[in-house]
């Protein structure tokens, strides 16, 4: 996700909320799952930014309008640990 807010000087409120509490619930199609938000930095951000700007070229315009580095956020699904197998089954 790109926290562009159209290139305004301030981060969008949703990004500030994710930065403060990165544990979220997301929905992909009909499936809901727990996920963790991570703000990308360095090479990971550059790669993601290039990919997102290819999809939505206006992101480059937004970045040119502001002094802040527009955050790029990855949502990583959290995998629940498997249920322990009872010893009687082993």
pLDDT of residue 83: 64
In a domain, 84, yes or no: no
CATH code where residue 24 lies: 2.30.110.10
In a domain, 36, yes or no: yes
pLDDT of residue 79: 80
User: How many Cα atoms occupy the beta-carbon half-sphere of 73 within 13 Å?
Assistant: 21
In a domain, 58, yes or no: yes
Q: Provide block-wise average pLDDT over 10 residues at a time, the chain (90 residues).
A: 98 97 93 95 98 98 98 91 64
**pTM recorded for the entire structure:** 0.82
Provide the residue range defining the domain that includes 16: 5-77
In a domain, 51, yes or no: yes
- Choose among 17, 1, 18, 20: nearest CA to 70: 1
């Amino acid at each position: 996700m790109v926290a562009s807010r159209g290139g305004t000087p301030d981060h969008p409120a949703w990004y500030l909320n994710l930065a403060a509490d990165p544990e979220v619930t997301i929905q992909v199609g009909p499936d809901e799952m727990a996920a963790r938000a991570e703000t990308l930095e360095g090479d990971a951000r550059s790669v993601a930014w290039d990919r997102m700007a290819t999809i939505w070229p206006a992101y480059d315009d937004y970045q040119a309008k502001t002094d802040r580095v527009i955050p790029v956020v990855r949502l990583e699904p959290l995998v629940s640990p498997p249920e322990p197998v009872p010893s009687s089954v082993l």
